[in-house]
Amino acid sequence: MEVIDYNKTPTFSFEGIVTRYRDLCRQHGVKSPIDFQPREHCAEGKQWIYPVWSDVEQGITENDPACIDLGIWCLEVEEPIPFGCCIRNSIANKLYRSKLNDQQKNWLKKVVTTRLLSRHPGVHYKRLGRLLFCTGPQINDFTPFELKSGDDAYITRRKNYINMKRDANQALQATSASARRLNSTFDE
């Protein structure tokens, strides 16, 4: 039987991910760690062993801090992995909905900003933009990205997108503050 194992990339091997996860569990004090098992499929004399990232995504959905760190690390590492774009997009969606602590928010903000400004972000840039804004109100502390003449079209478009979202977020917060003040005057 021919075995096709997608867990053999050096950084993202099954053993490497499990070891990293166990270290993160100890660091975060996770009481009941997830038992990672790669998905397998057999047909026509072949066996496919798929990456374990679906277990990590499930952990992120359950707000497991070790899985959240593992997901952010997956976005940070630029090494190609099998099904990498699909996996990273899915992890980005799960991280958007998860509860992040301040350390994770700051790390994610750094990772996302670096990814957005790289030539090949590995994740759809609108998903990265959403992730950037889920890191909290500190996005308003961002100085707008300066457009440089040496930037190519992709980088310019991403910088414009981040600047536009930053401005919209600031306007929304200002409007929300005004609405709260107005409502509080009517409540008196």
Establish if 111 belongs to a structural domain: no
pLDDT tens readout for residues 146-185? 656 666 676 677 677 777 766 776 676 667 665 555 555 5
Establish if 147 belongs to a structural domain: no
Q: Round to whole Å and give the CA distance between 85 and 16.
A: 20
CA 166 to chain centre: 19
* Mean pLDDT of the region 14-36: 89
Structural domain of 38: 2-104
Establish if 7 belongs to a structural domain: yes
Joined together, the tokens standing for residue 55 give 């277990």
* Mean pLDDT of the region 89-102: 87
Establish if 51 belongs to a structural domain: yes
Joined together, the tokens standing for residue 84 give 């990498």
Tally of domains within the chain: 1
Establish if 29 belongs to a structural domain: yes
pTM over 0.75: no
